[in-house]
Amino acid sequence: MQPAANPALAALLTTAAAAFAAGTTLLAKALGAGALGPALHPLQISHGRFVFALLAIGLAALVLRPRLMRPDLSTHAVRSLCGWGGVTLMFAAAAHIPLADATAISFLNPVFGMLLAIPLLGERVGRIRWAAALIALAGAAILLRPGPESFRPAALLALGAALAMGLELIFIKRLAGREPPHQILLVNNAIGLAISSVAAIWTWVAPSPAQWAALAGIGVLMAGAQACFVNAMARADASFVAPFFYAALIFAALYDAAVFGVRPDAVSVAGSAVIVAGAALLAWREGRRRAPPPPVMPSAGIPSGRGPSTED
């Protein structure tokens, strides 16, 4: 049964999802930067994310017993591969650049999803959405700091994460509306675990108890973020809900300052503001289109809102 509309609760749930998602990058930074012992490889960190997220979502499925159906495994596999790549690159970036910068760049994923839908799905893009994409990409250029002395190669990892998550949105769109959201999350995390397990073999080291706790925290927080966001989208329109997720930028900056003493400078604030302006314009434009299919978050925890529209 569809939950009753409740915008206030939807806003609260989305803000909680933002706090949880920012928490995953904080823990990934602690693991990748060696704050909890010898630094873990991003491949091992993303493996832990899928292990514990699958446990959390699987336990929820045992309790809630959601309706399941035969999954489209080929689409799930490609979606999960993109999601695994996105989350791994995101965790790698978080170890080397401020969390707020990595989070802001990851907000480009709906922009890349829109651009990739043109060749992959044959969709058309109108002037407003092109303008939104250009604004957001300009913000990314600011955060990349292209000067010879200030350029940060690690920021390219976050850009690659956004691109992978944008491609993931294409396949989420194909699944949404055809399969139940809980099933999509369950299958995605199961396939993601299989992919990440193979990849982590080559970098595996025995984590310390503190590192195991952080890995578990990443998975549980990611599962919590997905659950909060999906429930928020069931209670309010995407155009209302999506802007509240930009609070992840605030949470990321606060976490980074409290734990690592990193504070955003003027360039970070300017670049993040430009990206959010472009992403918000795109979300507003998408919100004016027809009602979206049931939402499912990308693997790296950033909300998709809805798939790219076929209309200008």
Lowest mean pLDDT among 25-29, 88-92, 142-146: 142-146
Residue 103, token pair as written in the block: 């989070």
Cβ atoms of residues 178 and 69 within 8 Å = no
The whole-number pLDDT of residue 309 equals: 45
The whole-number pLDDT of residue 150 equals: 65
Q: Cα angle vertex 165, ends 87, 202, to 5°?
A: 35
Check whether 284 has a pLDDT greater than 80.
no
Task: Measure the CA–CA gap between 24 and 243, rounded to whole angstroms.
Answer: 20
Q: How many CA atoms lie within 13 A of 86 on its CB side?
A: 29
The whole-number pLDDT of residue 297 equals: 64
The whole-number pLDDT of residue 86 equals: 94
Query: Phi and psi (nearest 5°) for 272?
Result: -65, -40
Mean pLDDT of the chain: 86
**% residues pLDDT > 90 (the chain):** 51
The whole-number pLDDT of residue 204 equals: 93
Check whether 192 has a pLDDT greater than 90.
yes
Check whether 149 has a pLDDT greater than 80.
no
Task: Measure the CA–CA gap between 260 and 160, rounded to whole angstroms.
Answer: 24
Q: Where are the domains of the chain?
A: 7-287
The whole-number pLDDT of residue 54 equals: 93
**pTM value?**
0.87
Task: Measure the CA–CA gap between 51 and 150, rounded to whole angstroms.
Answer: 37
Check whether 288 has a pLDDT greater than 70.
no
Confidence band, pLDDT 50/70/90 cuts, at residue 310:
very low
The whole-number pLDDT of residue 220 equals: 93
Between residues 278 and 27, the one the model is more confident about = 27
The whole-number pLDDT of residue 187 equals: 92
Q: How many CB atoms lie within 10 A of CB 250?
A: 16
Check whether 263 has a pLDDT greater than 50.
yes
